[in-house]
Structure 1
Amino acid sequence: MYKIVAYFLKGILRIVGKIHVYGQQNVPKDGAYVITCTHTGWVDVLYLGITLLPNKVHFMAKKQLFANKLVGWFLRKLNAFPVDRSNPGPSVLKIPSRLLAQGEIVGIFPSGTRIEEQTALKQGAITIAMRSKVPIIPAVYVGPNSLKELFGKRDAYLIFGEPIQFSDVKGQRAEFTNLLEERMDALSQEISVGN
């Protein structure tokens, strides 16, 4: 169901607006990795998903989105899995670690509503990638964040940064968290200047 919906959305999004993608050479063609992207609405999830086709992304999503049974069912069909951000349990590491071990891609949006939440989500992404010995691809999205903006023909911009590798480098989680923050800040400035 994921690919059917994703290719359908790709067609719709091409009609309503244009996506400018930069740094796609930084995204591995195959193999497992964690992708972290800025998150200001629901449209960025769609653009990130269609940009990475034919590869599928398993998105980490807050559990509140799964409260409605129909919405929860639909999200699961789109490879999203719930996480309790306020009270994280073993599933925060177990589910993404299992997916990465199977060669899948895990998407994490570490732009929480509070600064502490943003840092915690970035540390979580680092922990998951380090444990699984897979790279993190930082990404930044700028563009429409609502139906009104989307159908207002506003262009979207998505930029991918160079992978952060853990397999060959010794380092602490805090150091890599700072590096991820620096990379995403630099990408934000780069994409702001470019559009």
Structure 2
Amino acid sequence: MTDAADDAEEPVLAGPARRPGLVYFLGYGILAPIARLVFRPHITGRDNIPKTGRVILASNHLSFVDSLVIPLTAPRPVQFLAKHTYFTGKGIKGHLSRTFFTSIGAVGVERGAGQAAQEALDAGRRILEADNAFAIYPEGTRSIDGRLYKGRTGVAWLALTTGAVVVPVGLIGTQDIQPVGSNVPKVAKVTVKFGTPIDVSVHGTADSGKARRLATDEIMAAIHALTGQELAGKYNESPPAGALHKIADRVFPRERL
């Protein structure tokens, strides 16, 4: 899931997910050739992504631009979750933001703990149940130090609940396009590796905590094999926004993206 989510009503969460529409394909047709021409990414394993059906692209997360790189290098439309305020702005700026994020396959949600986390998972489930491709970052948030953090089991819950195949994705060098604190993208060498599809159903069912943990660990091991990142051995924690969120996390633990 992309970084951030603020408070506001999000209409996208109601009803079934729809396939990417005209704006997506127009945006993809314009942005993809330009991005490939400027950044010349090295891409491997595109044939590992099924052309149809439910598929989760589970990737490491190094930069905000990861959510641009994956859709622009994948061989089929890819949707992902983004901060819902990108879609609710007013005026020309709001229209441009909404059009841009729609064009790259983003679906607006509120991200956070407790109920917000479950709603985000449900939004991802609806995307998959519409036989779409869905990109997710099992680490939850960007790795500031470049290490690969422990995966959260939301990715396994989605795969086991929907029957989607999981394609591990290894991104290398995207942090150099837009370093932390920088607002201006830079031209940098980027490698995108799409790994061998994983069928996590061998681990059990979605209602088994052990199955979700084993499936997530298998996915993260595959991502690590693609990137070679140093393993952090712990979660990449973003502290809850306030006391109520902390209490909700403890009393009502849920799967998280």
Compute the TM-score of the two structures, normalised by the length of structure 2: 0.62
The answer for the alignment partner of 1:160 in structure 2 is 194
Say if 1:134 and 1:167, in contact at 8 Å, map to a contact too: no
Quick one: which amino acid aligns to residue 186 of structure 2?
E
Show structure 1 runs of 5+ residues with no match. Answer: 191-195
CA distance in 1 between counterparts of 2:202 and 2:49 reads 19
Query: SS of the residue aligned with 2:56?
Result: strand
Range with greater deviation from structure 2 (125-134 or 167-176) = 167-176
Provide the residue aligned with 2:186 in structure 1: 149
Residue 127 of structure 2 corresponds to residue 85 of structure 1: no
Q: Which has the higher helix share?
A: 1
Assess if the C-alpha contact under 8 Å between 2:26 and 2:103 holds in 1: no
In the alignment, what sits opposite 1:134? 164
CA contact 1:57–1:79 (8 Å) conserved in 2 = yes
* In 1: Cα distance, 2:61 partner to 2:143 partner: 13
- Superposition deviation, residue 125 in structure 1: 1.2
TM-aligned CA deviation for residue 92 of structure 1: 2.0
SS in structure 1 of the partner of residue 220 of structure 2:
helix
Tell me by how many angstroms 1:39 deviates: 2.2
Counterpart-to-counterpart distance in 2, 1:36 and 1:163:
10
- Counterparts of 1:62-141 in structure 2, within 5 Å, are 62-63=83-84, 65=86, 68-69=89-90, 70=94, 71-72=97-98, 74-81=100-107, 82-87=109-114, 88-111=116-139, 112-113=141-142, 119=150, 122-141=152-171
Q: Distance in 1 between matches of 2:138 and 2:88?
A: 21
Equivalent pair of 1:60/1:83 in contact (CA under 8 Å): no
Q: What is the CA deviation profile of residues 114-155 of structure 1, one whole-angstrom value per residue up to 9, with x for unaligned ones?
A: 79xx646x31111111100111111011134224422xxx32
Structure 1 residues 62 and 127: alpha-carbon distance in aligned structure 2, compared to 1, 3 A threshold: farther
5+ residue gaps, structure 2, are 1-22, 179-183, 205-209, 230-257
- The alignment yields a C-alpha RMSD, in angstroms, of 2.6
For 1:132, give the aligned amino acid: T
Identity %: 23
Aligned residues of 2:24 and 2:105 also touching (Cα < 8 A)? yes
Alpha-carbon distance, 1:65 to partner? 4.9
Counterpart of 1:193 in structure 2 is: none
SS in 1 for 2:170: strand
TM-score (norm 1): 0.79
- Residue 110 of structure 1 deviates from its aligned partner by 2.9
Match for residue 45 of structure 2 among 20, 23, 42 = 23
For residues 35-54 of structure 1, the aligned pairs below 5 Å read 35-53=57-75
Q: Secondary structure at the match of 1:172?
A: helix
Q: Give, as a single letter, the amino acid of the residue that structure 2 aligns with 1:86.
A: A
Aligned to 1:175: 214
